[in-house]
Amino acid sequence: MSIENLQNLENAPVILQANHLVKTYTQSSGRFGFGSAQIKALDDVSLSLKAGSTLAVVGESGSGKSTLARCLLQLHPFDSGEVLFEGKDLAKLDANSLRSMRENLQMVFQDPFASLNPRMRVGEIVGEGLLIHGLGSASEKKNRAAEQKNKVQQMLERVGLSGSDALKYPHQFSGGQRQRIGIARALVLQPKVVVCDEPVSALDVSVQAQILLLLKELQHEMQLSYIFISHDLRVVRHIADEMVVMHKGKIVEQGKVVDIYNAPQQAYTQQLLSAIPGRKAA
């Protein structure tokens, strides 16, 4: 990244911020499951995402990464804390206001097959958000439908598919192509923030590189801000500007990716980095 780009990120405003998030689950315990135990999936988690940047959230399975992603998007309620999008507390919005806000907050899921309805055509999947939010400049319903169809085809082509693929079903595509469909579905609404929950972990290494390159290109073109959830620090190194390291529901380290890679401060972060084959200092 150039010095100019780094300076731009330093001066960029915070678009999404989480303050002191706590999320607790109740789990059955005891020999016959009659007891219960409280599990803190998030324990006083705070982070901020700058406009136009990528913030990676890393950690092993069970560290709270996916729970954090869903709490940020208000898909899961949290016990305490706040999530601010452009200064607005999402937890305090009424249902209609939150629904309108979701145009700006989208998600790309881990499994590119399970996240797509197998009974819907690709065009219906990608265009569902446009239909729900009634997006389009045309005043008449018929004209708006044609406009939405055109937007779907354009987005499919932008992510490397064909406009004619809108008529196909998810099972007719490879894993990498299905993830491109998931990306198109998220971006057709022209959001400001996209949460990517392990978006390449289910893909082959060669396909991972293609999807990561596509995400970076789209970020530049559409001025997107990413929360990038991953357990693979090799992937994070190539896409993120800043990162937070989670362990047992807590953030144990955070900062610029290059700084953490060169000089990790916490033992847990050092263990994660040492697991990367042939890792070299940035």
Q: Is 247 contained in some domain?
A: yes
Separation of alpha carbons 258 and 243, rounded Å = 9
Q: Is 279 contained in some domain?
A: no
Is residue 180 a contact partner of residue 214, using CB atoms and an 8 Å limit?
yes
Domains in the chain: how many in total? 1
Separation of alpha carbons 61 and 68, rounded Å = 13
- pLDDT tens column, 18-67: 999 999 988 776 666 666 778 889 999 999 999 999 999 999 888 999 99
98 φψ region: left (φ > 0), alpha (ψ -120 to 50), beta (else) = alpha
CA separation (Å) from 238 to 53, 82, 216, 220, 228? Answer: 13, 30, 10, 15, 11
- pLDDT tens column, 195-231: 999 998 888 888 999 999 999 999 999 999 999 999 8
Q: Is 282 contained in some domain?
A: no
Domain assignment of residue 58, given as a range: 3-274
Q: Is 25 contained in some domain?
A: yes
What pLDDT is recorded for position 282?
47
Q: pLDDT tier at 113 (50, 70, 90 boundaries)?
A: confident
What pLDDT is recorded for position 139?
52
| Residue-averaged pLDDT of the chain | 88
Query: Percent of the chain, pLDDT > 90?
Result: 66
Q: Is 280 contained in some domain?
A: no
Q: Is 281 contained in some domain?
A: no
- The CATH number that applies at residue 108 is 3.40.50.300
Q: Is 127 contained in some domain?
A: yes
Q: Is 242 contained in some domain?
A: yes
